[in-house]
Amino acid sequence: MNGREFKDFYKILGIDQNASDAEIKKAFHKLARKYHPDANKGDKESETKFKKISEAYEVLHNPEKRKQYDMGRQYFSSGGFRPGADFEWPFGTEGGGFESFSDIFDLFGFGSKGKRQDSYRGNDLHYKVKLSFDSALKGRETEIKARVKDTCPTCSGSGAKPGTGPTTCKHCGGRGVIAQSQGIFSLSRTCPSCMGSGKVIETPCSQCSGSGIVGHDKKIRVKIPAGVEDSQTIKFRGHGEPGIKGGPPGDLYITTEVIPHPVFIRNGSNILLDLPISFSEAALGAKLEVLTTNGVVNLKVPAGTTSGKIFRLRGKGAPKLHSSSNGDLLVKVKITPPKKLNRRQKTLLQELGEFNDNLRHDLHKKTKK
Ligand SMILES: [Zn+2]
Ligand SMILES: [Zn+2]
């Protein structure tokens, strides 16, 4: 029954709800001329529109049908219908079929078909979990202590004291609905005594006071997968609150908070690392040992490497979520002068410096131009 909604025939014809018969006719003829299939050959949109107009006219130009439609419409707009309930507006079903009014209210959830829902899905749970940088890479088991609603174990959810059972509701005779006459049609509504279940509990279960539901603490263990990132929400299907009276369980949603690492920076499945190198390593080239998140790897820095150059170590980054492959480690080298120089270092560097004088020569020349 999804996908159908209340059809406002007045709106479709573009008229006021107090429109006279003549006005209804006039509006219909005007729109019908515009959207008639003969005038719009092959245009699907016009065809649909024409159908809607005809449907609206068929009801509104008939005084009896219009009267009934107006009553239903009023009921609808007054919010008399349960929100979220599936319903079908039988006016203007394919072919313009007109059903009895009691059927309409059945479909709106008022009728005898309206049964109390006994079992229902457990609620979803939402938690935040703090992870170290390393746990986010490797994955980690986590235990969540949640207060959840569950089917009462004493009465198995019936709400009746063990050994007793629910009895038929006297108010509605077990039908769950009571009929009320309103004007030209009869309207049935949910029995207030049994809330539509048709049954009442005379001796309630002492553990759940007749509700059939109890709250209890539950430990939920789940494994956070390897490769999660900060502020990521992971869904654990079926790990939420238990379903009530045989209903399916809800889901658990865990949002991660990953503690930043002092050295490594995550960028998706890649990891960034700033690596200090000496001037001589940069100038002469060097084989460096780089500490990654997963052991030591060798990095060959070629002679003449400039500061800021990025070396990509493939597959040495973070695991890709739900995949067997890894991202890359991006090593950005930074030529770093020694913090303290001894006499010998100073002398050597001064000597070296004599060769460095022309470094900015080209730059100056180009700037002057
Ligand atoms: Zn109980
Ligand atoms: Zn009842």
Q: How far apart are CA 240 and CA 282, in angstroms?
A: 55
Q: What is the pLDDT of residues 206-236, one digit of tens each?
A: 999 888 889 989 999 999 999 999 999 999 9
Centroid of ligand 1 to alpha carbon of 203 (angstroms):
11
Q: What is the pLDDT of residues 279-301, one digit of tens each?
A: 999 999 999 999 999 899 999 99
Centroid of ligand 2 to alpha carbon of 119 (angstroms):
19
Per-residue pLDDT averaged across 26-52, rounded? 82
- What are the percentages of helix, strand and coil residues in the chain, rounded to 5? 25, 25, 45
Per-residue pLDDT averaged across 27-49, rounded? 81
Q: Flag whether pLDDT at 109 surpasses 80.
A: no
Q: Flag whether pLDDT at 93 surpasses 60.
A: no
Question: What tokens appear for 90 in the block?
Answer: 């039988």
- Whole-number pLDDT of residue 182: 64
Query: Which one of 75-84, 204-213, 266-275 scores highest in mean pLDDT?
Result: 266-275
Say if residues 214 and 207 touch (Cβ distance below 8 Å).
Answer: yes
Kindly identify the ligand whose nearest atom is closest to the C-alpha of 212.
Answer: 1
Which structural domains are found in the chain, ordered by start?
Answer: 9-107 (1.10.287.110), 118-163+204-259 (2.60.260.20), 265-359 (2.60.260.20)
What does 23-60 look like in DSSP terms, one character per residue? HHHHHHHHHHHHH-GGGSTT-HHHHHHHHHHHHHHHHH
Kindly identify the ligand whose nearest atom is closest to the C-alpha of 208.
Answer: 1
Mean per-residue pLDDT of the chain:
82
- Whole-number pLDDT of residue 185: 66
- Whole-number pLDDT of residue 317: 96
φ and ψ at residue 28, rounded to 5 degrees: -65, -50
Centroid of ligand 2 to alpha carbon of 178 (angstroms):
8
Centroid of ligand 2 to alpha carbon of 177 (angstroms):
6
Centroid of ligand 1 to alpha carbon of 214 (angstroms):
7
- Whole-number pLDDT of residue 248: 93
Per-residue pLDDT averaged across 352-357, rounded? 75
Per-chain residues with Cβ under 5 A from ion ligand 2: 169, 171-172, 191, 193-194
Phi-psi region of 159 (alpha: psi -120 to 50; beta: other; left: phi over 0): left
Centroid of ligand 2 to alpha carbon of 190 (angstroms):
8
Kindly identify the ligand whose nearest atom is closest to the C-alpha of 209.
Answer: 1
- Whole-number pLDDT of residue 60: 86
Of the candidate ranges 95-99, 239-243, 255-259, the one whose mean pLDDT is the lowest: 95-99
Kindly identify the ligand whose nearest atom is closest to the C-alpha of 155.
Answer: 1
Q: What is the largest CA-CA distance in the chain?
A: 110
Centroid of ligand 1 to alpha carbon of 152 (angstroms):
5
Q: Flag whether pLDDT at 82 surpasses 50.
A: no
Q: Who wins on pLDDT, 58 or 291? A: 291
- Whole-number pLDDT of residue 76: 60
Q: Who wins on pLDDT, 360 or 333? A: 333
Pair type for strands 125-131 and 252-258 = parallel
Q: What is the pLDDT of residues 309-334, one digit of tens each?
A: 999 999 999 999 988 899 999 999 99
- Whole-number pLDDT of residue 271: 97
Kindly identify the ligand whose nearest atom is closest to the C-alpha of 114.
Answer: 2
Give the pLDDT band (50/70/90) at residue 7: confident
Q: What is the pLDDT of residues 152-184, one digit of tens each?
A: 999 988 888 998 888 899 988 988 888 877 666
Pair type for strands 310-313 and 213-224 = unpaired
- Whole-number pLDDT of residue 250: 94
Centroid of ligand 2 to alpha carbon of 353 (angstroms):
99
pTM equals 0.56
φ and ψ at residue 170, rounded to 5 degrees: -75, -30
